[in-house]
């Protein structure tokens, strides 16, 4: 299994620090509003990476934080006249709901920044003791020039950064020793939440939070650190500096970053009026469609969101679901595999190998999905009423399992549909009882249009798929 490592700018064979185990940290959202579809991409991509590594037999300790103290959270709290804690608690709950609807599994641990303040104070103190940080009037800064490897992830040179204009500088307060030094701790402002530290009543800088949470829940050295490419500089660069200067060890071996997501070929922003939350998308589409869309391109490729592409994704996903539904509805006459079917199943298993080859090559989910569609075509061509139960179940199992590795629930929709059909039949029965035959006929016609045939028998209404 190979990953493209942002640190080395090449694909590398994945070798974990401890055989059979993976320590993985993924930067989570700042919780001040509903998550947007830009937040959703790393959630889906790296959840899929985790699922695949577990499929390969690894035990994955997957940590993804919630940033629950931040300027945006405080601004939202002031706007609503409530506490910052109330805002963050509300939107963590909403985020978890959206994640569940996208079939993103909960992390092994979801740490909250506000619950790890003591660890942050300890790390900042250690950095000061080692000469990597300094305090000025209650603010603590990190000395970027003291870390000789600063810039190794973003492949930026410190001198170039300094001469590259203020847009590249982390911040530029006059009290800093160097304009590139970044904040580890800052004093509170009036009305802000704060914690007591040796330097001031205040709160941590953003970068120190992830360094501390990764260390606490995964250790001083981790296998994989992941997130959106917008985090490479300065956030991940600063995490490396803090962690390696404090711990004296390489922080993360592999750095994985997903590319940006655009809306109708433009960068998503509130000013352009093209800001899309996951919740809004969920009002129009099953969020399995969003997940399929996210995985239909390689995670390192820019991805464009549009209504047309979502409709295409919906249709494509329905093709897989329909194939599984068809296999479930077959009534085979025999149970055991025939020699001819055993030979055909070898072809199906070769498609599993094709799926694995794609995923082993830097999580190429686009090619992995193509392998699933080849399986769908194989099923549609070779599985029918004359097939054995063993053959049908084996083919269905291949499609369902490979889809599940990608977090696509292609067998779930049929179960949901069964409940929905039963509900529509009950409504039709009620309409007939009320002698509203027009309504009863309309329901029958709607079901027929969806491929459901009703049979009125003495034992009641029975139904089957066309």
Residues 276-309: tens digit of each pLDDT:
999 999 999 999 999 999 999 999 999 999 999 9
Quick check: helix, strand or coil at residue 340?
Answer: helix
- Residues with Cβ within 8 Å of residue 8, at least 6 apart in sequence: none
Cβ neighbours around 414 below 10 Å, total: 17
Give yes or no for a contact between 238 and 182, defined as CB atoms under 8 angstroms apart: yes
Average pLDDT over residues 38-63: 98
pLDDT at site 333: 86
Which residue pairs from 366-371 have beta carbons closer than 8 angstroms and sit at least 24 positions apart in sequence? 366/295, 366/296, 366/297, 366/298, 368/295, 368/402, 368/405, 368/406, 369/292, 369/295, 369/296, 369/406, 371/402
Distance CA 142, CA 140 (A): 7
pLDDT at site 167: 45
pLDDT at site 426: 87
| Tokens read off for 224 | 């994989």
pLDDT band at 89 (very low <50, low <70, confident <90, very high): very high
Average pLDDT over residues 46-59: 98
The residue extents of the domains of the chain are 2-258, 316-410, 413-465
Distance CA 3, CA 13 (A): 7
Alpha helices in 296-337 (DSSP H): 307-329
Distance CA 222, CA 211 (A): 11
pLDDT band at 423 (very low <50, low <70, confident <90, very high): confident
pLDDT at site 164: 52
Q: For residue 407, is it left (φ>0), alpha (ψ between -120 and 50) or beta?
A: left
Give yes or no for a contact between 255 and 7, defined as CB atoms under 8 angstroms apart: yes
Peptide bond before residue 257 is cis, with ω within 30 degrees of 0? no
Distance CA 19, CA 1 (A): 14
Average pLDDT over residues 440-458: 81
Give yes or no for a contact between 73 and 30, defined as CB atoms under 8 angstroms apart: yes
Handedness of CA 272, 278, 280, 282 (dihedral sign): positive
pLDDT at site 412: 60
Give yes or no on whether 2-258 and 316-410 have one common fold: no
Average pLDDT over residues 204-218: 97
pLDDT at site 105: 96
Burial annotation 159-168 (CB, 10 A radius, 16+ → b, else e): eebeeeeeeb
- Stretch (H or E) spanning 285: none
Distance CA 310, CA 142 (A): 44
pLDDT at site 453: 82
2-258: CATH topology is: Rossmann fold (3.40.50)
434 exposure class (CB count in 10 Å sphere: 0-12, 13-18, 19+): exposed
Q: For residue 451, is it left (φ>0), alpha (ψ between -120 and 50) or beta?
A: left
Angle at alpha carbon of residue 35, lines to 411 and 118, rounded to 5°: 115
| Tokens read off for 97 | 């709901």
Which residue reads 């530029």 in tokens?
Answer: 172
Give yes or no for a contact between 141 and 199, defined as CB atoms under 8 angstroms apart: no
Phi first, then psi, for residue 186 (nearest 5°) are -135, 145
pLDDT at site 218: 98
Note the CATH architecture for domain 316-410: Up-down Bundle (1.20)
Q: Which residue, among 40, 46, 160, 49, has the nearest Cα to 102 in the 3D structure?
A: 40
- Residues with Cβ within 8 Å of residue 101, at least 6 apart in sequence: 278, 282, 287
pLDDT at site 450: 72
Distance CA 271, CA 274 (A): 8
Give yes or no for a contact between 330 and 383, defined as CB atoms under 8 angstroms apart: yes
pLDDT at site 449: 73
């Amino acid at each position: 299994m190979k990953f493209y490592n942002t640190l080395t700018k090449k694909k590398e064979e994945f070798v974990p620090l401890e055989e059979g185990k993976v320590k993985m940290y993924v930067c989570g959202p700042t919780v001040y509003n509903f998550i947007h579809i830009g937040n959703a991409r790393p959630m889906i991509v790296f959840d899929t990476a985790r699922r695949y590594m577990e499929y390969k037999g690894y035990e994955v300790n997957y940590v993804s934080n919630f940033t629950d103290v931040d300027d945006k959270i405080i601004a939202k709290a002031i706007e609503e006249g409530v506490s910052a804690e109330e805002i963050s608690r509300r939107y963590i709950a909403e985020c978890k709901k959206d994640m569940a609807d996208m079939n993103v599994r909960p992390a092994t641990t979801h740490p909250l920044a506000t619950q790890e303040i003591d660890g942050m104070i300890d790390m900042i103190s250690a950095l000061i003791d080692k000469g990597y940080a300094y305090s000025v009037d209650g603010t603590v800064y990190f000395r970027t020039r003291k870390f000789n490897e600063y810039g190794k992830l973003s492949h930026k040179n410190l001198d170039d950064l300094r001469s590259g204009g203020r847009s590249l500088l982390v911040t530029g307060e006059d009290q800093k020793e160097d304009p590139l030094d970044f904040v580890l701790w800052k004093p509170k402002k009036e009305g802000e939440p704060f914690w007591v530290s040796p330097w001031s009543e205040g709160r941590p800088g953003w970068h120190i939070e992830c360094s501390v949470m990764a260390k606490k829940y995964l250790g001083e050295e981790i296998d994989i650190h992941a997130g959106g490419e917008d985090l490479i500089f300065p956030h991940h660069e600063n995490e490396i500096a803090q962690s390696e200067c404090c711990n004296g060890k390489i922080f993360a071996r592999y750095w994985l970053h997903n590319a940006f997501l655009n809306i109708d070929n433009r960068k998503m922003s509130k000013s352009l009026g093209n800001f899309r939350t996951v919740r809004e998308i969920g009002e129009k589409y099953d969020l399995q469609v969003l997940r399929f869309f996210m995985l239909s391109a390689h995670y390192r490729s820019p991805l464009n969101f549009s209504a047309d592409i979502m409709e295409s994704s919906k249709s494509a996903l329905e093709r897989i679901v329909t194939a599984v539904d068809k296999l479930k509805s077959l009534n085979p006459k025999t149970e055991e595999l025939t020699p001819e079917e055993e030979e055909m199943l070898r072809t199906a298993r070769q498609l599993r190998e094709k799926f694995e080859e794609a995923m082993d090559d830097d999580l190429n989910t686009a090619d992995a999905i193509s392998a699933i569609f080849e399986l769908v075509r194989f099923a549609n061509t070779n599985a029918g009423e004359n097939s054995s139960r063993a053959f049908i179940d084996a083919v269905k199992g291949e499609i369902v399992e490979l889809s599940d590795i990608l977090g696509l629930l292609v067998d779930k929709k049929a179960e949901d549909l069964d409940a929905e059909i039963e509900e529509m039949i009950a409504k039709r029965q009620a309409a007939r009882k009320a002698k509203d035959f027009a309504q009863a006929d309309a329901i029958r016609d709607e079901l027929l249009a969806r491929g459901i045939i009703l049979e009125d028998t003495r034992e009641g209404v029975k139904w089957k798929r066309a």
